[in-house]
Structure 1
Amino acid sequence: MGDPDPEGTGPKGPVPEGPVLTARGLVREFRGFRAVDGVDLDIAEGSVHALVGPNGAGKTTLFNLLTGFLKPTAGSVRLGEHELAGRRPERIARLGLARSFQITSLFAELTPKQHVELALAGRSGLGWRFWRSDAALGRYSERAAELLDQVGLAGHGDIPAGSLAYGRKRALELALALALDPKVLLLDEPTAGMGVEDVDRTVALIRQVREGRTVVLVEHNMSVVSNLADRVTVLQHGQVLVEGPYAEIRHDPRVVTAYLGDSNAER
């Protein structure tokens, strides 16, 4: 697991009590194989909660179950009083749960400003109607500019998104998720493929946007997890292996074995 946080303290400050997002007995089968196998999960309101584990542990499948991109074979997912299992992703987003993707899907010729204006229009009910005039989307111009500034793209709003550097594309993706004003923001590998400078910038950005909301992230970079997460759930073979603060789980023999193999468990 490494030791990226020498003090083992992780994020500072109290984490509010009470779950805002829960899963109970969550199962997803693919032709008899259980990618997620009876997962129970409680995400505390106002926290940053990391889902980690070795390759094939079921992290992405669980992420897709929470956000409606996969339907569970069995089990329940609740956001507050709302049952999410079986709802379409766009309905789930309107209830207050939004996600960013591991692989960016942006329109290369549209500017960041246009992307965010369209996202704001979709949330408001105007919808993704590309034939609407610039004047119709213009009502969202001020808020779009605020969101771009929030993610560090204030000076990049009017250039084609396809020309943005990778780290800035990920920042735009985050702005699109924030345009939905979510209660819970799910981030799928937010620092994947980034250099050190972009990783540091993204960590600072997540710290900023967590104010007033809950963040769930799938992340391989354990330094990022140690710096951001209030609580960590470690998955293995589709099940919860261990859960707790990073300072506790990082030296758990079960976690060391899961990541490094039995021969390293005693080191």
Structure 2
Amino acid sequence: MGAGPTGSAGSAAQAASPPAGPVLRARGLVREFRGFRAVDGVDLDVAEGSVHALVGPNGAGKTTLFNLLTGFLKPTAGSVVIDGHRELVGRSPEAISRLGVARSFQITSLFTDLTPQQHVELALAGPTGLGWRFWRSDRALERFAAPAAELLDRVGLAGHAGVPAGSLSYGRKRALELALALAMDPKVLLLDEPTAGMGVEDVDRTIELVRTIRAGRTVVMVEHNMNVVASLADQVTVLQHGKVLVEGAYAEIRHDPRVITAYLGDADAAR
């Protein structure tokens, strides 16, 4: 597995060391689809304050595991607990979000005619109930204007707050989705392929953005770009055929022959 960008291997280590206790814990997670086990007995501990990456080849079960952690799929067996005692299995995605777990999606899903400012104002208003009644008065969302602008500034969209979201570049659309997730003030933020389809400039911008937004929260991400993983992750879980193949710091797992073979193929393993 190739090394990350210059200095990236030490970037995660430069961050403050996260507490040892897991904020999110999965035990024995199984998800079957007509007899096929997409996730097969996965145990996962995510340390509070860490960036935890889930990697592996296509079909390894990463997105399915992601959906189990966030309530978009119900496990065939197993449990997911936040804060040591709150069981997430059986709760709706909305209820899980209220407990402090938010996620972004691999495929962008925005209202093309609404501006980033309007998107974030609605996201901030959602928990109050005003988000569903915003058409009754233009003043209904005024109290969310300032915090929405602050969130957009954090993700680098201050200069694009008033343009239709449909006109944003792909990288900026992903940044807006991050702002929407942050509007829920999550304790645990799950990012599904945050750099998928991006050019080098957008990838670098996203790396810096995740470094910024990780302060005070835990990040779990599915990511194929190993330079991104090397730059950000404190812990890496490698999945293969729905099972945990190996787990550890990037510097430890990158030379593991099982990981090289599973993730990059035999040609790279022979190097």
Query: Which amino acid in the other structure matches residue 42 of structure 1?
Result: D
Q: Is the 8 A contact 2:134 2:141 kept in 1?
A: no
How far the C-alpha of 1:147 sits from its partner, in A, is 0.3
1:66 corresponds to which of 62, 65, 69: 69
Of 190, 194, 213, 1:186 maps to 190
Q: Which residue of structure 2 lines up, in the alignment, with residue 124 of structure 1?
A: 128
Classify 1:179/1:48 alpha carbon distance in 2 versus 1 (closer, same or farther; 3 Å). same
Give the Cα–Cα distance (whole angstroms) in 2 for the partners of residues 117 and 93 of structure 1.
17
Task: Give the Å deviation of 1:126.
Answer: 2.5
Is 1:79 the counterpart of 2:82? The answer is: yes
1:114-157 Cα distance to aligned partner (Å, 9 max, x none) = 00000001123334334332201111001000000010011111
Aligned residues: CA RMSD: 1.3
List alignment gaps of at least 5 residues for structure 2. Answer: none
Rate the CA distance shift 1:260–1:167 in 2: closer, same or farther, 3 A: closer
Q: Residues 207-247 of structure 1: CA distance to partner in whole angstroms, max 9, x if unpaired?
A: 00000000000000000000000000000000000000000
Matched, 1:148 2:156: no
Which residue of structure 1 lines up, in the alignment, with residue 41 of structure 2? 38
Partners of 2:108 and 2:145 in 1: CA distance: 23
The one-letter amino acid of 1:28's match is R
The structure 2 residue matched to 1:51, chosen from 48, 51, 54, is: 54
Structure 2 CA distance for partners of 1:152 and 1:5, relative to 1, 3 Å: closer
1:172 to 176, 189, 192: 176
Alpha carbons 1:10, 1:247 under 8 Å: kept: no
Q: Select the residue among 108, 130, 135 that pairs with 2:139.
A: 135
Match of 1:208 in 2: 212
2:26 to 16, 23, 44: 23
Using the TM superposition, name which of 119-128 and 222-231 deviates more.
119-128
Aligned residue number for residue 104 of structure 1: 108
Matched position secondary structure for 1:158: coil
Q: Is the contact between residue 48 and residue 217 of structure 2 (CA under 8 Å) also seen in structure 1?
A: yes
Tell me the secondary structure at the aligned position of residue 211 of structure 2.
helix
CA distance in 2, matches of 1:124, 1:75: 33
Answer yes or no: is the 8 Å Cα contact 2:234–2:250 preserved in 1.
yes
Residue identity in the other structure for 1:9: G
Aligned 8 A contact 1:25 1:75 in 2: yes
Given that 1:253 and 1:266 are in contact with CA atoms closer than 8 Å, whether structure 2 keeps it comes out as no
The alpha-carbon distance between structure 1 residues 156 and 212, as it changes in their structure 2 partners (threshold 3 A), is same
- Alpha-carbon distance change, 245 to 39 in structure 1, aligned in 2, over 3 angstroms: same
Match of 1:250 in 2: 254
Identity %: 78
* Displacement of 1:16: 1.8
Task: Using structure 2 for the length normalisation, give the TM-score.
Answer: 0.95
- Partner AA of 1:192 in structure 2: A
Report the Cα offset of residue 10 of structure 1: 4.6
Aligned residues: 267
Judging changes above 3 Å, is the alpha-carbon distance between structure 1 residues 174 and 113 closer, same or farther for their aligned structure 2 residues?
same
CA distance in 1, matches of 2:217, 2:118: 25
Counterpart AA for 2:41: G
Structure 1 counterpart of 2:126, which letter?
A: G
Deviation at 1:28, TM superposition (A): 0.3
Question: Are the structure 2 counterparts of residues 235 and 145 from structure 1 closer, same or farther at C-alpha, using a change threshold of 3 Å?
Answer: same
Partner Cα separation in structure 1 for residue 11 and residue 238 of structure 2? 16
Structure 1: unaligned runs, 5 residues or longer: none
* CA contact 1:10–1:230 (8 Å) conserved in 2: no
